[in-house]
Structure 1
């Protein structure tokens, strides 16, 4: 046996200084070939790096979930939590709020667009009726419950821009209704402003690559009207409106600008995805744009991540649920950038408000100038109450500006 082992272990004369004992008679650690030792050492190093990387990623995601700023990780003194939401106990989704005199008007998703009023942002909110008297005149999507209304007032006329669509599809349209008062009972539905997917004008860029929902209309100091819209696909776009505020300034040359986009897909595409229902490149989760103005800067707010059809046993990874982000520009037409100077079209965006405490997945936001204070309002979920679409609640936080950047306050 010894001779056989020696024969198997050696060939030729061993170098001077080598252990000449047969392989099986050496100490255990010497029986392991050197290349195995090197491979085991390399494997151990890779495992160590993987564990450290995993801890780092987990720290990042948990920090996001706790409401910390991603850019502040690694600096314990700079890390800060988001303040709790000022809660109203008012169910809402994609709210828009106006103040008319001493009364506040809330418009949000519901059959024919719900209208509530209250003596303050905190409520109590009382439902006073609906904006439309019947289904939208636009023959698309969910005509009975238009999405994401936004209401502005110009020279005594109130304009409500709304969207009709089908979840997950971009065969959508933005419509407009007008009234001489903010309450229910006197709104006229003018129908389509723009549409994507199918229908007249949908074959013109950017309607060929965008989703006509989540409208937000801004009137500049010069009197120009700009319609900002978009959801998923290629992100947020903007076009000028005509003087009547009911149609694009041009139907053949929209003069469109792409303002923001999430270049990375946050998940796998549906296997049946096409250019109309489902993006074949996966979900580029950005939507709900809103533009506000303060002290020489235009701020483009948007919702990033997943908001709807959530399941308690399969929530998005921490940091991929809805959160509120912003970029700024000296021009209402952009380009909009974040603090680092990254263009929002290239994936930039400053995180202003995210999940914290009982507040989960805030988004669908707007900004109301209330006296001399800007107030950020939004819908959010409280997981102890429920995470269904109809469980969304109205929350808000005053804003202060630090070096020209908005910061949510308690």
Structure 2
């Protein structure tokens, strides 16, 4: 629609708004805020792993999880379903499949993992992992797909995988797991699949979403990411994936990282421009553990609430009760939810604070302006109540003009609805912001400016889609997509300096059927990262500027090959390790400062090449109680990748068996700086948070590990790793070890 016709539409609706405004009633008093407390699945399950979530046409939010038992000694089930109206109480709905309805092509005993839920084409579509197929029994994972008329089922699986098993050329199969679907602005549907073995790839789907077509594109390197999820925001596609081990009990360091691209096929790069698909792998932290009771947060999904606030839904492990069954059995992975803040263009959980363990504001549901979101006609003037269908319930039919009976708040405002569109449909906020879905595009007019985005040529306007119009500060966004899960058919965005939206009824012009209508003030955005540790006054350390080690050093299993010369400590990597039962590696410790808070820092040069296998050459810093209880931060070769790992080992079973896991952080480089920020928490436990830098100035702060109260751990350096194929071994060169006060 040309701008002149936009303005005419705006004027017409503004007149309606003015007339209606003379008889509007006062808004209903605000309701007490609803809060959530992690884990949000505790009322019906101890484990609800790999969650995905969608708002159904009936207004409920439906969550789905992998096939682990819900409780100790419970059945595995064939993926689980639950729902909520407001995130404060949940109802368990049973399993997705039973033995009769599960995919006929799955091998007996196959597991069903990681459901990904979507809505398009008038039905609910679920993608999921099948761990073993009848074609090659024994471990050939593939991706299945099922459809249902309602979000609670019944689910009908297709007669074959949507993504077939992928042979690795060595008699095995790559990890074709963890699907995530995206409808992109080019009108095509894409499926992201894969994991540590083989990396994540994106495959185009047929329009009905049930078949893969074309050639897959690999978007992440192997050995780093799984559990992908992709959202579109402000012109960027954000690929997020989980890293490290999901299921190492009390040493699980799972975390989520992101890269972005202008294309759904990538390449995806992080905030520093590092690729997710190269040996020295990149990734900007979305969520990682923070030292409270939650560890291993990951395998997530995103939702946007009625106030425009994004939330991350994920699983994590309570480090105090990590097992659903016996140690080294099934991990207890309940479902959690937290706020996502977009800071400098990147998604951060609670502005970088990570998983919450105290009450938090629940996602906003329901509507202001006198509207019952699931029966919207009663709150609208000029709309007709329709019976709707058995799934969605009553709807509002708009033909010509309609307006809310009550005024919407002024300022930042969001209008969100499921819609079936006529030839043209216009939404007006505050009498001055006009958003129109025409036959070919989504357009905005505000403050004398215009913006638009084209719709795909085959866009189906007669089916149910999600339409949101939002004013946040001086930015106006109009977005049309499948179901509000980060997908997009078209998003128009317009910056209008000085824009002020007054309190007025929301108005519509044109034709549409509307359901799940919400009108709400936009959540206040958080734009600054939470505070991170900062180094203050230098307390102690060693610059390695003498003829040997300075005062304060002690060894565990001395290594005579570690030499101080030319202002550096040079230490050839030992062909050994601390993990497991070996415990024969050398460790070099320095006295730590007095007090309950400080930062240790070292500068490390370690060249372990790129792209080849050097498991697990590494060097860095270590916080150490004994050979079976430590946390170490290192630059490490993990198969063909180079990563920065903050690992943890502890005794996990009464017979002395140990568990080891790690959290990734930052991007490695041949020369890098490392920090461990130490503090003692209220329980007397020793908390270490890892930070890394590639220039010594700009720091990336990541995961925290907690060591038990009592004896204060030692702090020092290590240089370990298998030397297979490398002679002489690489040399770790440390420029110094310093201790600072922590601001």
Scaled to the shorter chain, the TM-score interval is: 0.5 to 0.7
Query: In the alignment, is the contact (CA less than 8 A) between 1:128 and 1:184 conserved in 2?
Result: no
Structure-1 residue corresponding to 2:65:
108
Structure-1 residue corresponding to 2:218:
258
Unpaired runs of at least 5, structure 1: 1-83, 263-283
1:350 to 275, 284, 309: 284
Alpha-carbon distance between aligned partners in 1 of 2:305 and 2:186, rounded to the nearest angstrom:
22
Structure-2 residue corresponding to 1:137:
104
| TM-score, length of structure 1 as denominator length | 0.64
Give the drift of 1:244.
2.5
Query: In the alignment, is the contact (CA less than 8 A) between 1:325 and 1:352 conserved in 2?
Result: yes
Structure-1 residue corresponding to 2:187:
223
1:183 to 136, 143, 152: 152
Query: In the alignment, is the contact (CA less than 8 A) between 2:103 and 2:157 conserved in 1?
Result: no
Describe the SS at the equivalent of 1:260: coil
Match runs of 1:269-308 below 5 Å:
284-308=223-247
Describe the SS at the equivalent of 2:163: strand
Change in Cα spacing, 1:246 to 1:208, as seen in structure 2 (3 Å) is farther
Query: In the alignment, is the contact (CA less than 8 A) between 1:355 and 1:361 conserved in 2?
Result: yes
Structure-2 residue corresponding to 1:366:
301
1:337 to 269, 272, 278: 269
Give the drift of 1:102.
2.6
Alpha-carbon distance between aligned partners in 1 of 2:98 and 2:139, rounded to the nearest angstrom:
26
Describe the SS at the equivalent of 2:277: helix
Alpha-carbon distance between aligned partners in 1 of 2:109 and 2:195, rounded to the nearest angstrom:
16
The superposition leaves residues 178-200 of structure 1 with CA deviations (integer Å, 9 ceiling, x where unpaired) of: 111111335344431122256xx
Query: In the alignment, is the contact (CA less than 8 A) between 1:170 and 1:196 conserved in 2?
Result: no
Structure-1 residue corresponding to 2:540:
none
Change in Cα spacing, 1:141 to 1:369, as seen in structure 2 (3 Å) is farther
Change in Cα spacing, 1:244 to 1:406, as seen in structure 2 (3 Å) is same
The superposition leaves residues 124-148 of structure 1 with CA deviations (integer Å, 9 ceiling, x where unpaired) of: 22111222233332233743x4100
Bigger proportion of residues as strand: 2
The superposition leaves residues 23-60 of structure 1 with CA deviations (integer Å, 9 ceiling, x where unpaired) of: xxxxxxxxxxxxxxxxxxxxxxxxxxxxxxxxxxxxxx
Query: In the alignment, is the contact (CA less than 8 A) between 2:229 and 2:301 conserved in 1?
Result: yes
2:121 to 155, 168, 173: 155
Alpha-carbon distance between aligned partners in 2 of 1:302 and 1:93, rounded to the nearest angstrom:
15
Give the drift of 1:399.
1.2
Asked whether 1:393 is paired with 2:334, we answer: yes
Question: How many residues were matched structurally?
Answer: 285
Structure-1 residue corresponding to 2:548:
none
The superposition leaves residues 194-227 of structure 1 with CA deviations (integer Å, 9 ceiling, x where unpaired) of: 22256xxx98xxx987321101111113320101
Alpha-carbon distance between aligned partners in 2 of 1:186 and 1:192, rounded to the nearest angstrom:
15
Range that drifts further, 96-105 or 131-140: 131-140
Asked whether 1:405 is paired with 2:341, we answer: no
Query: In the alignment, is the contact (CA less than 8 A) between 2:301 and 2:314 conserved in 1?
Result: yes
| TM-score, length of structure 2 as denominator length | 0.36
Match runs of 1:72-151 below 5 Å:
86-88=38-40, 89=42, 90=45, 91-100=47-56, 101-110=58-67, 111-120=77-86, 122-134=87-99, 135-140=102-107, 142-143=109-110, 145-151=111-117
Give the drift of 1:404.
0.9
Change in Cα spacing, 1:94 to 1:186, as seen in structure 2 (3 Å) is closer
Unpaired runs of at least 5, structure 2: 1-35, 68-76, 133-137, 325-329, 351-355, 357-743
